[in-house]
Chain A
Amino acid sequence: GQNIDQPTEMTATEGAIVQINCTYQTSGFNGLFWYQQHAGEAPTFLSYNVLDGLEEKGRFSSFLSRSKGYSYLLLKELQMKDSASYLCAVVDSNYQLIWGAGTKLIIKP
């Protein structure tokens, strides 16, 4: 079967750094996306990894290890507006997005 695991909820402090992990077991791998979703809103694209390594984009970075079936999203200099759910999604061998259940990130002042 296909499986993507993320922590259900995380709490961090404004200005700090937080790392959200994602492990996956899927039938094939054609890339991994991270999306951000605020409550009641649509998911918005954050990052895409298909090769091993770190992709940096401003305050957000995403890392991938294909051999370990592992990715993380790193958020720096946290702001209150970063309070949202973060969804990890893997593109499988049929080019379908397999979604993790999402990690709810709570930022405290």
Chain B
Amino acid sequence: DTEVTQTPKHLVMGMTNKKSLKCEQHMGHRAMYWYKQKAKKPPELMFVYSYEKLSINESVPSRFSPECPNSSLLNLHLHALQPEDSALYLCASSQELTSTYNEQFFGPGTRLTVL
């Protein structure tokens, strides 16, 4: 299984809603990532988990809250988002965080629209 899955595929939410994005991989990867991608821009790193511990938080606003319940799952909890948070949210995984060959496998993404 060389797949990263993400749910939901699309999400529309109001600014007062609370929702969660989910990501799952069964490749035994120990590093997992959340990226945000706006149209015609490269992926922008948000968070990195290594061995289920938060390793990197790229100064992301607290309205985004990551969680790694176990080595296969990664969640992103959303609360009080702004319209400018509308984007494609990508989850990725790789074997290890500190590895020279660190191919990241991406999930299909969640297209988020904040009204």
Contact = CB atoms under 8 A, between A and B. Distances in A.
Contacts of A100: 42
A2 B5 CA distance: 31
B102 interface: yes
A43 B109 CA distance: 10
Contacts of B98: 95
B99 interface: yes
Interface in B78-108: 88, 90, 97-108
Interface in A50-80: 50
B106 A50 contact: no
B45 interface: yes
Contact of B88 (A40, A89, A96, A102): A40
Interface residues of B, number: 22
A71 to B, nearest CB: 16
Contacts of A42: 90, 106-109
Given A41-B108, A99-B42, A30 B88 contact: no
A48 B99 contact: no
Contact of A31 (B101, B105, B107, B109): B101
B41 A101 contact: yes
A87 interface: yes
Interface string B33-61: 00000001111010000000000100000
Contact of B45 (A33, A40, A96, A104): A96
A30 B105 contact: no
B103 to A, nearest CB: 6
Contact of B106 (A40, A43, A101): A43
Give me the 7 closest cross-chain CB pairs, A-B, nearest first. A99-B42, A42-B106, A95-B98, A30-B100, A43-B106, A42-B108, A42-B109
